[in-house]
Structure 1
C-alpha cells in the first residue's frame, strides 16, 4: 500500500494528501504534582536510578498501572521500564535502563531485529491487557541492552490516545467498547 492513510478504529481510509500536523504548544505539560505526591519517596542513587519530571497525568497513571504485580492477574513486563516511586524533589524515579537507544545502530542482525519484534509484541500484549494503548511507538521511546538481547519501553505518555483511539472514547476503555 502506498499513499497517505487515516486509521479510525477498524477502518482504513485512503487520503488524497498527508494530514497537517497538529499545532503543539511548546510546553503542554499538565500539573501532575498531586498525583506524584501520592507516590512514596525513594532515595535516588544515580548509578541505579533514572529520574525525570512527569509531564502528563496519563503517563504517571500508566506507569503506576505497570508497577510489578499491582494489577490482579497481570504480571509486570520486563520490557517496560519500572517506576519505583518519587524523589524528594518530586521527580519520577525509575530503575536505570540497561543502556541507551544508541545501541540500536550497532546491530544489523535479522535475528536480533526479530527478537526485538517479539519482545515488542509481548510488551504490547501486556500493555493492552491492562488497558494501555501506546500511541507513540518509535525507537527513541525504547532503550536497548548493550548486547542487543533486550529492549525496554521507556515512555508511556500516550497523550494522543483520546484523540486517536476511538475505543477510549468509552468510559471503560477497551472493555466498554465491545
Structure 2
C-alpha cells in the first residue's frame, strides 16, 4: 500500500480536497482606499454587514462605471448597490455611496441584471459622482463580504489610490 492510499498529509486527503485558493476581490471604483471603520455609516463601520474595505472616488470624478468585484452571478442589483456571488459561495456587496438609496436611482444607470454571470471588472452600474455629492451625500463606497466576520480578511493597505478592477483584497479559501 502506498502512502497516498493511506492518506499521507496533503495527498488526496479530505482536507486537501476541500481547501480552495483565495478569491481575489477587485475594487469596483477608482479612488482612495479606506478601512471599513472609517465609513460614515455605523452599520458598515462596525462590520455588522461583514468584513471588507471602502473606496472613495476622486474629488474631480464625474460619471464613473462601477465594476464587478469578482467572477460570479449577480444576485441583486439596484441603482445604488449590487451583490455578486462567487460559484464557491461567498457573496460581495458593493454599496455605491452612503444614503444613496434616497436618490431613488437619480444619477445612476444599471447595466448588469440579476442572474447575469459576470467576470471581475465587468461594468455593473454607472454613477454621476458629482450629482451625488451635489446632494451632500458621501460617495464612500463599502465593498463587503456578506455574512462574514468584521475581521474576515487581511485588511488592505489603506490611504493609497486604487483603480477600478485592481486587486482590493482576498477572500480566504475554504
TM-score by length of 1: 0.25
TM-score by length of 2: 0.25
The structure in which a higher percent of residues are strand is 2
The structure in which a higher percent of residues are helix is 1
Q: Greater relative contact order: 1 or 2 (C-alpha under 8 angstroms, separation 6 or more)?
A: 2
